[in-house]
Structure 1
Amino acid sequence: MLRFIALSGTTGVTENLNVYEYKDEMIILDCGVGFPDLEMPGVDLVIPDFSYVVKNKHKLKAIVLSQGHEDHIGALPFLFREVNVPIYCAPLVTEFLTEKFRDKGISDYKVNTFDPTKDTFQIGSFKFSPFRVSHSVPDTVGFLIETPEGRIMHVPEHKIDQESVDGQPFDIERAKKLASGGENLCVISDCLGVHETGFAKSGVEIENNMLKIAMTAKKALFMSAMSSSIGRFQQMINVARRVNRKVVFVGRSIQNKTESAHKLGYFKYHADDVVDVRKAKKIHPKDLMYIVAGCYGQVGSSVYRLATDDDSRVSITEGDTFIFSANPAPPYSKESQDFIIDELIDRGVDTHYYDLKEGLHVSGHGAQEDIKMLWDICKPKYFIPTGGTIKHMHGYEKLAMSVGAQKENVFKLKPGDSVDFKNGVASRGQKVKVKEVMVHGLGIGDIGKTVLEHRTLLGKQGMVVIVFKATKDGKVLNKPEIVSKGFVFEGISGGLLNDSIQRLMKHLGTHNNLSAKKLKDEAIKFLEGYFFKTTGRSPMIVPIVVEV
């Protein structure tokens, strides 16, 4: 029996990790990070729950990667704390991993680089045949996977673009050739663009649209896109040449990724097209184009520091021009991107962004016709949507049924759900228990729902600390001390705090011989009610009892 487990990445767009199991063999396909939502204060990243993989690591044979985006490769350094198996990926992904592992101090790893135009490779009972697909980063691939229980076409993200700006269109011919080698049991494919009709747009026209804006820019010109959007950066370089501007890369992620792509010949420019950020200070702003990392406005990113005037290397001033060639994509990125756009506009920067609909971005995810064309290529019996949310999976199911699929042959999986394939028949398998694993600073997985609830409460409502001095038999000595943080300003609302203490002491006077625990419980209960009644807010109450 073959088992496919969607450990994560099924309902939240990011954090992709899938597992294939056959007898005593296990293979992972993709291993990405997720991004914290608004209810995760202080969290840097979310990674898949590796518990099941670690528990069965004696079965794990390899990790196969479909592309180089962080939501497909970013969690590998965390997994490699627990396991060490060969990795299979395309050339650009190899370069990205080399950089990532070097940054994390990981040297004991082995990468097998495949050519997606011709290679196949065997891992135990599994035979993988990669083929190029069009996406927003070069060297993105799908796989035809031959297993003892049948053939599966797994394409995590794709569109059928034949004019891909990175020069790597969907390889329809190879995909058809691979699919025609036998009956295909199942397709596992991208569902994020399922609500868009027709085919997903090509990005070819973006270059001309950026050029129109660049030709009217009077001072410095700034542009930003996702750091792995090599094709988009090529278009920016092309625009810079046409308006006689030198290019400055700002941000380590862009510098590293463009260098990797340039090394492979995927990103083409001449040495004199680019200048170092330090040398740029000697060049007139009207002769410069800055390509800046952090298009989603992540706190601490180069775009964020630039917009908030917190970058010692580069500054942006009134009359400059800024082009965002990115729509909000990761969950909860719209708020941060809108913040920096507002900051730039407020500073007098001519800002071009997604709401203006100037044709500066296209999705890397296939629309309905892209999805159906993939199905037509492989003609599967079963369908599994991936890479979207619940609504996208629902739309994928409806689309599959519109072309003749049976509802029971579409498996919408949540994290930990599995599908078993045996004798040409698919059925739901056992669910693997998984949880959210959050990374904050140096901590991994050591915070959960309670800590996040406390952080959220502190951020929204503030905190009140009250310190009692009491005897061992529970008698409170003197007036307690009370301190407010993030709740009310004591210089203005000190009367409120003093009144709360007086009323609390009167309330406690009706109770005799309270234990320290009971004293804390009564203080919390009373003050929560008092503050909500008087202010409409519910700060965290932290009582401290000091026995004297």
Structure 2
Amino acid sequence: MGMESGVSNARPSRQRRGKGKSPKPRKDLKWIPLGGMGEIGKNVSVLQYGDEMVVIDCGLKFPEEEMLGIDLVIPDVSFLEENRDKIKGIFITHGHEDHIGALPFVLPKLDVPVYGTRLTLGLIKNKLGEVCPRYRPKFNEISAGDSVTLGSFTVRAIAVCHSIPDGLAYAVKTPVGTVVHTGDFKLDNQPIDGRTTDYGAFAELGREGVLLMLSDSTNVEREGFTPSERTVGRTLEQLFRLHKDKRIVIATFASNLHRAQQVFNIAMRYNRKVALVGRSMLAYVELARELGYVNAPEDLFVPAQEADRMSPNRVVVLTTGSQGEPFSGLVLMSKGEHRQIRLGQRDLVIISATPIPGNEKLVSRTINMLFSCGCEVVYERDQAIHVSGHASREELKMMISLIKPKCFAPVHGEYRHLVRHAQLARDLGVPSKEVFVLSNGDVLTLTSQGKGRVDGRVQAGAIMVDGLAMGEFQGSLLKERRELALDGVLAVSVLLGQDGSVRDVKMESRGFLHSQEAKDLYGELERAVIRALESCPSGDESAKTAIRKRMREVLSRYSRGYPSIIPLINRL
């Protein structure tokens, strides 16, 4: 798939120079994280030098259990919107949702160039097409080894291995010093696509001198090294061999294209066809095949409805739902609600993923439902059916030792991950006073002498996305939904005559006592409404306030809490 007219692909030169002259050197460089600190997801940060900025990543995170009805959470980028004219470009490390997912909501407001690899830009293009199809992005395709000069910044892309192809780290050279952002990485010496983390580039930067290192903290609590993705392939092949007579259903992240490639290779060796289930699985695999990141013949694939009619030992189902997402392919199958695939005793289900923190209950519930369908389920961590895409403790040590930064700030992790990663950097010789555990919105100011200080804050936080509507994270919407969930709602409709007399009072409730169950209470509430209107004959708003007050007085005698009261006043 070639990119649209908005995409440039200047490959002959290894270095490209943006417009504008570099300003005179200034004293300080600022790094400002707007997301991804103390949380998993919502990664976005800014490097600022004078009146110039570059942004790294712009991701989302998925809602927590108490965020009732919320689809997505994206970073509050008010700071970027206010400084839109200063932004030279957004550099994307890789194509996971926690690094690109907010772009459809943010990019049209900023309208600045975006830099990323071919696959990453392809994924962003698909997301923009869903949310804002009329917007034409300014895409600039880069590859590992390329450098882009934009004003005072020279950004070098460095290959890193991750659980999605084409991951990048960035080394940003500025007049004050070099900043290295590792992105999400692991040190897999036998990656599926043969593209390893570029140790040489990091070592070279370490020799030249690095002012600030920003490093992925996700797996800092895991000792040792993260296993190679190939170990999962060996486990899957063994399961295929042991269960030759069963249909095999594999649930994994749609973005884990290396794992999908291994499934395709093993399916071909065992003469099985593959059915893809789940909208995101279909979209990722289709794009990856189109761009050449996944190699699989067209005749390997069959529609899901055909897979359910085939002999069990001749098909593999690759599906979404490894995190127990309510409307994903695997969860619908486990409930017996999937339109094409019906599970039973002939099926082996492999959940090839580890639950993301917060999803444990959803995954556990899905596993229980799968067993109730009669399936055999493989999900235990000790069976090597999943490996992480993030560096474990020894790999993080190696990266710090290669880069040898003067200052260090852990990124991409919950607060305990940041603290433990910061301690790791101190143990490896980074001066304690130059190791910074920051919060979203903190401003880290750096000098060419290798000194840093936390110097002020900018606005940062989270915005909830409910459908295509967006709102403040701490606004009244969530509060209202929690109150409705806990106490229900009671609507009161009052009909007034032309003289202001009460002609009729009707009540309707949801999530609260129904009138048939508490006739005496509802009668008392009706009398309270009439008294409220007699004592407050003025405008509708004051009358509504009086109604709420009188009704709450009655309800307080029956329970500690009371429902949300919605008065409606109509006049003849």
* Partner of residue 539, structure 1: 563
Matched, 1:99 2:126: yes
- Out of 474, 478, 484, the residue aligned to residue 452 of structure 1 is 478
- Out of 316, 334, 339, the residue aligned to residue 289 of structure 1 is 316
Q: SS state of the match for residue 492, structure 2?
A: strand
Q: SS state of the match for residue 2, structure 1?
A: strand
For residue 164 of structure 1, report the CA deviation from its aligned partner. Answer: 2.5
- Out of 403, 407, 411, the residue aligned to residue 382 of structure 1 is 407
For residue 225 of structure 1, report the CA deviation from its aligned partner. Answer: 0.9
Q: Per-residue CA shift, 1:310-334, capped at 9, x if unaligned? A: 33233323331111101112x5322
Q: Per-residue CA shift, 1:225-274, capped at 9, x if unaligned? A: 11110111122123323332111112232222223323444322233322
Q: Number of aligned residue pairs: give it.
A: 536
Partners of 1:278 and 1:347 in 2: how far apart?
19
The correspondence of residues 248-263 of structure 1 with structure 2, limited to 5 A, is 248-263=275-290
* Partner of residue 385, structure 2: 360
Q: SS state of the match for residue 495, structure 1?
A: coil
The correspondence of residues 64-463 of structure 1 with structure 2, limited to 5 A, is 64-104=91-131, 105-106=133-134, 108-116=136-144, 118-180=145-207, 182-217=208-243, 218-281=245-308, 283-329=310-356, 331-354=357-380, 357-424=382-449, 425-445=451-471, 448-463=474-489
Would the aligned equivalents of 1:144 and 1:179 in 2 still touch at CA under 8 Å?
no
* Partner of residue 54, structure 2: 27
For residue 376 of structure 1, report the CA deviation from its aligned partner. Answer: 0.5
Q: SS state of the match for residue 177, structure 1?
A: helix
* Partner of residue 508, structure 2: 483
Would the aligned equivalents of 2:524 and 2:554 in 1 still touch at CA under 8 Å?
no
Gaps of 5+ in 1: none
Gaps of 5+ in 2: 1-27, 538-542
Partners of 2:277 and 2:213 in 1: how far apart?
40
Q: SS state of the match for residue 445, structure 1?
A: strand
For residue 543 of structure 1, report the CA deviation from its aligned partner. Answer: 3.6
| TM-score (norm: length of structure 1) | 0.91
Matched, 1:53 2:80: yes
Q: Which amino acid aligns with 1:460?
A: L
Would the aligned equivalents of 1:297 and 1:333 in 2 still touch at CA under 8 Å?
yes
Identity among equivalent positions (%) equals: 29
* Partner of residue 5, structure 1: 32
Q: Which amino acid aligns with 1:397?
A: A
Would the aligned equivalents of 1:475 and 1:514 in 2 still touch at CA under 8 Å?
no
* Partner of residue 8, structure 2: none
For residue 481 of structure 1, report the CA deviation from its aligned partner. Answer: 2.8
RMSD: 2.5
Would the aligned equivalents of 1:527 and 1:541 in 2 still touch at CA under 8 Å?
no
- Out of 67, 75, 100, the residue aligned to residue 40 of structure 1 is 67
Partners of 1:429 and 1:395 in 2: how far apart?
23
308-317 or 51-60: bigger deviation: 308-317
523-532 or 402-411: bigger deviation: 523-532
Q: SS state of the match for residue 263, structure 2?
A: helix
Judging changes above 3 Å, is the alpha-carbon distance between structure 1 residues 428 and 474 closer, same or farther for their aligned structure 2 residues? farther
For residue 507 of structure 1, report the CA deviation from its aligned partner. Answer: 6.4
Matched, 1:14 2:44: no
| TM-score (norm: length of structure 2) | 0.87
Partners of 1:278 and 1:510 in 2: how far apart?
64
Would the aligned equivalents of 1:467 and 1:545 in 2 still touch at CA under 8 Å?
yes
The correspondence of residues 480-519 of structure 1 with structure 2, limited to 5 A, is 480-488=505-513, 490=514, 494-496=516-518, 498-504=519-525, 513-514=535-536, 516-519=543-546
Partners of 2:545 and 2:102 in 1: how far apart?
45
Q: Which amino acid aligns with 2:517?
A: G
Judging changes above 3 Å, is the alpha-carbon distance between structure 1 residues 477 and 64 closer, same or farther for their aligned structure 2 residues? same
For residue 63 of structure 1, report the CA deviation from its aligned partner. Answer: 0.8
Would the aligned equivalents of 1:2 and 1:20 in 2 still touch at CA under 8 Å?
yes
Partners of 2:545 and 2:167 in 1: how far apart?
61
